[in-house]
Amino acid sequence: MSSTTLTVALVSTQRRWHGGEEQARLLAEGLRRRGRRCVLLARRGGVFARRMADDGFEVETFPGNGRSPTALWRIRRLLKIIHPDVLHYNDSHAVLCAGLASLGLKIPARVAARRVGFAIRSPRQYRWLCDIVVCVSSAAAEVCRAGGIPERMLRVVPDGVDPARVRSGDRARGRNALNLSDDRILLLSVAGLTDAKGHRFLLEAIPSVVRKHPNAILALAGDGELRNELERQAERLGLRANVRFLGYRDDVPDLIHASDLFVLPSQTEGLGSTLIDAMLADRPIVATTAGGIPDLLGAVARLVPPRDPPALARAIVEALDSPDGSAEMRRLALERATQRFTADCMVDATLDVYRALL
C-alpha cells in the first residue's frame, strides 16, 4: 500500500456535529497530510458535509440518512466512481446504508468505527458488511464482543485530539466570554445533553458543592434533546444562579482553559474524548468509571461510580479543596495524553489497521 495509491471513502450519516464527526475530521486531515486521498460521503445539508467542504476536502453527498432507494443508488454510484481501497463507516447508520450500497463492489477493506458503549442492536450488519470494527476502548470492544461480533474482527484504536487546538485556548478569553470574575470557580462539562452523559446526576450533586463553595458555577457546554428537562431540574434544585447552559460552542478550548475543574458524569461512555482536551489543557478532572473512561484516565483523575451524585459531589469538593493534590495528577495526565491520545496517534493506528487488511 503506497501513499500515492491509497483512497479512503469515509461515510457519515449524521446531521449535526458531535464527537464522532470531530474524529472523522481529524482522521481525514491526518490522511491528507500523509498523502492519502480521502473522499467524504456525507448527509446532504448536514454540518459535516458543509464544514469538510469548506476545509477543501472532496465531499459527495446523499439525501437523508442514506437508507432510501435514491440514497443507496447515489452512494453505490459514488463508490463505483471513487474506487476506494477502504470504505470507512463513521457511524452505525453508515454501516447499513453504505454497506448495502457496496455489496458486490470490489472494495478491499470495509472498516466500521464504534465509539459508543451501547449494546449492539444488530451484530449481523457488522458481520456481513464489515471486515474490521475499530473500537475506541477495550470497554467498547467488550460490548461488541458480548453483542455477537467475533473477536477476530475487533481492534482498539482510541480517539485522539489536536494538541495545537487545545493549546490555542486562552483562560482570560474564556472567562470573559462567560462574564466570569476571577473569584468565581468554574466547573465545566463538555458533552451532548443526552441521557448517556449523566448530566442529571451532576445537577443532583451541585447543591452539596455549592454549600461548600457558594462561588462555584457549573457550565454545561453542548446541546441535545434533554436540554429543557435539565433546565427544569436545575430550576427545581434552586440552581438558577449556579448553572449555565451554554449550548453548542465553537470556543471549547477557551472554556476548558477558563475552567477550574473539568467534570464528565457519564453513565455510558465509549471513551470520552473531551477528557483528552482537559488532560492536554492541564485541568484537574473528575469523571465516572463508565465504559472506556478508566482506559483513558488510568490513575490521573478522580473517578467515581456512575449514577452516584453524593460520590460525585465529594470528588468535586475534594478536587477544589486540594489543588496541590491535583497537581501531580495533572502532570501525569498531560504526559499520558501527549504520548497516547493525540490525533496523530489515532491516524497512525488507523493506518496500521488499513495496512493489515490490504
Strand order through the sheet with 261-264: 243-247, 216-221, 185-190, 261-264, 285-288, 302-304
- What the block records as the C-alpha cell of 226 is 434533554
Distance CA 42, CA 40 (A): 6
Residue owning grid cell 476571577: 182
The number of beta carbons lying within 10 Å of the beta carbon of residue 145 is: 18
CA distance to 34, 258, 329, per residue, from 319 (Å): 41, 16, 11
The number of beta carbons lying within 10 Å of the beta carbon of residue 128 is: 13
Q: What confidence tier does 303 reach under pLDDT thresholds 50, 70, 90?
A: very high
- The residue type at 188: L
CA distance to 146, 216, 248, 256, 274, per residue, from 23 (Å): 25, 32, 17, 19, 11
- The residue type at 334: L
> What is the rounded average pLDDT of the residues 150-176?
97
Distance CA 2, CA 23 (A): 24
- The residue type at 60: E
Q: What is the dihedral of CA 247, 248, 250, 255, to 10 degrees?
A: 50
- For a pLDDT cut of 90, what percent of the chain falls above it? 94
Q: How many helices and strands (H and E) does the chain possess? A: 16, 13
Distance CA 112, CA 86 (A): 10
Instruction: Answer left, alpha or beta for residue 221, where phi above 0 means left and psi between -120 and 50 means alpha.
Output: beta
Task: Give me the chain's average pLDDT, please.
Answer: 96
* Nearest Cα to Cα of residue 274 among 214, 341, 226: 341
The pLDDT score that the predictor gives to residue 3 is 47
- Name the CATH code of domain 7-160+342-357 (choices 3.40.50.300, 3.20.20.70, 3.30.930.10, 3.40.50.2000): 3.40.50.2000
Q: Using alpha carbons only, what angle is made at residue 137 by residues 131 and 139, rounded to the nearest 5 degrees?
A: 100
The number of beta carbons lying within 10 Å of the beta carbon of residue 83 is: 11
Q: What confidence tier does 325 reach under pLDDT thresholds 50, 70, 90?
A: confident
The pLDDT score that the predictor gives to residue 326 is 84
CATH architecture of 163-340: 3-Layer(aba) Sandwich (3.40)
Per-domain residue ranges of the chain:
7-160+342-357, 163-340
Tell whether the model's pLDDT for residue 322 goes beyond 70: yes
Distance CA 182, CA 308 (A): 30
> What is the rounded average pLDDT of the residues 198-208?
98
pTM assigned to the model: 0.92
| Each residue's pLDDT tens digit, 18-59 | 889 999 999 999 999 999 999 999 999 999 999 999 999 999
- The residue type at 160: G
- The residue type at 132: I
Distance CA 126, CA 115 (A): 14
Q: What sections of the chain are H helices per DSSP?
A: 19-33, 47-54, 69-82, 92-101, 123-129, 138-146, 163-167, 171-177, 199-212, 227-236, 252-258, 273-280, 293-297, 309-321, 323-340, 343-357
The pLDDT score that the predictor gives to residue 4 is 54
In sequence order, the 6+-apart residues with CB closer than 8 A to the CB of 33 are none
Rg (CA), the chain: 21
7-160+342-357 and 163-340: same fold? yes
| Each residue's pLDDT tens digit, 58-117 | 999 999 999 999 999 999 999 999 999 999 999 999 999 999 999 999 999 999 999 988
Angle between helical axes of 19-33 and 343-357 (0-180°, round to 10)? 70
